């Protein structure tokens, strides 16, 4: 596992100039429907970048694991007996069988292939291979599981399929990747938070439409009337406006929370001043993480592109660990609110996908309230062309 130093400091929000580039337009049709473009994205983006796959709370004990799919590859993420987190391709070194079928669980002692019972330690070493001692020259040390780069940022687990020793692939360490965000989110105590719920959404839309939808509230008055009553659509202030990390804050009506009841549903996730209870922060982290920071909870969307026209989205809600022991803990108040808003978003994304597939579609102009989607497109182009 990559060694990552936890972020400690917590600088205040600093607004930067959010420059709208006149003449910016939406992407051409091929970027949303072409199998060839999608294959390029898997090869040049999802096989080379740091990809969110989970949170350390999902594998709290030794032997805990989950399986994730990245760029068409099945990966095992497991915690060993020393507390280290490892990542491996879900492929037996004997005859290539999938090792683990379940999406998550607890392994008592080792990883064992269901086919011929080759057995691996949680650090990937081959420790058992029936009848292979009779094979001349066979050496267990040569048949460890194929590792994948794994790292932690603010408690979230990322993997990178790139060869860390190769210079041509443009590989950078997780520490280097997140340098621009050093200390930015420490107030929310992200490593310590616990998940209360995950909802999976199978959205019939291109993954880029999800990012573009998340990155503007131009659509909010018509699509999200409930959200707009609590958080005015025109209250946004962006502080990250170029590059792989984009977003900023929106205001929350006084004494309100983004819940069905409009009231706070849990303990604050961090130490906030009174003013900070009036903001929600939204950031996109290229290429598959959407991070929504509320005073009383954190919501994270993890995108898993399946095809040019289909995206699996895993949405998790995180809360202060002590909130779970309190009688006034009402996580469903936030979960039901955002499940409603999510479904509203996915519906319009699917409508966009359907319209973009038309022979009449042509790129349309971005408005001044869509500077972040336009900036996202620019960075996407740079990554795809590099």
CATH (domain of 255): 3.90.380.10
Q: What separation, in Å, do the N-terminal and C-terminal C-alpha atoms of the chain show?
A: 27
Same domain, 72 and 122: yes
What's the confidence (pLDDT) of residue 18?
57
Distance CA 70, CA 61 (A): 24
Same domain, 150 and 262: no
Q: Dump the DSSP string for 26-84.
A: PPPTHHHH-HHHHHHHIIIIITTS-EEEEEGGGG-STTEEEEEEETTEEEEEEE-TTS-
3-state secondary structure of 357: coil
Residue 170 · residue 47 · CB < 8 Å: no
Residue 242 · residue 248 · CB < 8 Å: no
Domain end call among 144, 161, 178:
161
Same domain, 278 and 323: yes
What's the confidence (pLDDT) of residue 254?
84
Residue 348 · residue 219 · CB < 8 Å: yes
Same domain, 40 and 86: no
Whether 20 is covered by a domain: the verdict is yes
Placement of tokens 């005015």 in the chain: 232
Question: Does pTM surpass 0.85?
Answer: yes
What range does the domain containing 305 cover? Answer: 13-46+188-386
Whether 60 is covered by a domain: the verdict is yes
Q: Hey, how many other C-beta atoms are within 10 angstroms of the C-beta on 235?
A: 16
Same domain, 17 and 69: no
CA angle centred on 78, ends 321 and 90, rounded to 5°: 140
Q: For each of the chain's 386 residues, which pLDDT tens digit applies? A: 333 323 333 334 444 445 667 789 999 999 999 999 999 999 999 999 999 999 999 999 999 999 999 999 999 999 999 999 999 999 999 999 999 999 999 999 999 999 999 999 999 999 999 999 999 999 999 999 999 999 999 999 999 999 877 645 568 999 999 999 999 999 999 999 999 999 999 999 999 999 999 999 999 999 999 999 999 999 999 999 999 999 999 999 988 999 999 999 999 999 887 666 789 999 999 999 999 999 999 999 999 999 999 999 999 999 999 999 999 999 999 999 999 999 999 999 999 999 999 999 999 999 999 999 999 999 999 999 98
Whether 2 is covered by a domain: the verdict is no
Check which CATH number belongs to the domain holding 111 and give it.
Answer: 2.102.10.10
Residue 7 · residue 185 · CB < 8 Å: yes
Distance CA 5, CA 186 (A): 13
Whether 6 is covered by a domain: the verdict is no
What's the confidence (pLDDT) of residue 310?
98
3-state secondary structure of 145: coil
Whether 33 is covered by a domain: the verdict is yes
What's the confidence (pLDDT) of residue 296?
96
Beta-sheet pairing, 298-307 with 310-319: antiparallel
Number of domains in the chain: 2
Task: Spell 194-203 as b/e; 16+ CB within 10 A means b.
Answer: ebbbeeebeb
Same domain, 211 and 116: no
Same domain, 151 and 295: no
Residue 84 · residue 95 · CB < 8 Å: no
Same domain, 205 and 94: no
Same domain, 350 and 304: yes
DSSP state of 341: H
Whether 238 is covered by a domain: the verdict is yes
Same domain, 303 and 368: yes
What's the confidence (pLDDT) of residue 156?
98
Same domain, 122 and 209: no
Which backbone phi and psi does 368 adopt, to 5 degrees?
-65, -15
Same domain, 220 and 144: no
């Amino acid at each position: 596992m990559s060694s990552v130093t936890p972020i400690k400091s917590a600088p205040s929000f600093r607004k930067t100039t959010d420059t709208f580039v006149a003449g910016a337009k939406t992407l051409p049709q091929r970027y949303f429907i072409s199998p060839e473009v999608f294959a390029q994205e898997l090869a040049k983006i999802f096989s080379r970048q740091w990809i969110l796959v989970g949170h350390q709370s999902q594998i709290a004990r030794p032997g805990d694991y989950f399986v994730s799919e990245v760029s068409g590859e099945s990966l095992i993420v497991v915690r060993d007996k020393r507390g280290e987190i490892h990542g491996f391709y879900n492929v037996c070194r004997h005859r290539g069988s999938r090792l683990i079928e379940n999406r998550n669980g607890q392994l008592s002692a080792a990883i064992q292939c269901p086919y011929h019972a080759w057995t691996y330690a949680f650090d990937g070493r081959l420790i058992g291979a029936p009848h292979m001692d009779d094979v001349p020259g066979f050496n267990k040390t040569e048949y460890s599981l194929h590792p994948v780069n794994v790292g932690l940022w603010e408690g979230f687990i990322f993997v990178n399929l790139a060869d860390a020793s190769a210079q041509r692939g443009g590989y950078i360490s997780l520490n280097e990747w997140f340098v621009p965000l050093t200390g930015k989110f420490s107030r929310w105590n992200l490593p310590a938070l616990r998940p209360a719920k995950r909802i999976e959404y199978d959205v019939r839309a291109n993954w880029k439409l999800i990012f573009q939808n998340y990155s503007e509230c131009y659509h909010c008055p018509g699509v999200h009337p409930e959200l707009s009553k609590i958080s005015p659509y025109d209250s946004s202030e962006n502080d990250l406006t170029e590059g792989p990390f984009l977003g900023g804050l929106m205001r929350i009506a006084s004494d309100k929370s983004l819940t069905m009841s409009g009231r706070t549903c849990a303990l604050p996730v961090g130490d906030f001043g009174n003013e900070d209870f009036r903001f929600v922060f939204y950031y996109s982290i290229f290429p598959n993480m959407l991070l929504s920071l509320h005073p009383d909870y954190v919501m994270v969307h993890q995108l898993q592109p399946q095809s040019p026209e289909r995206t699996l989205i895993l949405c998790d809600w995180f809360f202060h660990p002590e909130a779970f022991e309190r009688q006034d803990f009402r996580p469903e108040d936030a979960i039901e609110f955002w499940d409603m808003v999510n479904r509203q978003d996915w519906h319009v994304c699917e409508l966009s996908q359907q319209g973009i597939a038309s022979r009449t579609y042509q790129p349309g102009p971005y408005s001044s309230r869509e500077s972040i989607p336009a900036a996202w497109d620019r960075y996407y182009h740079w990554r795809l062309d590099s």
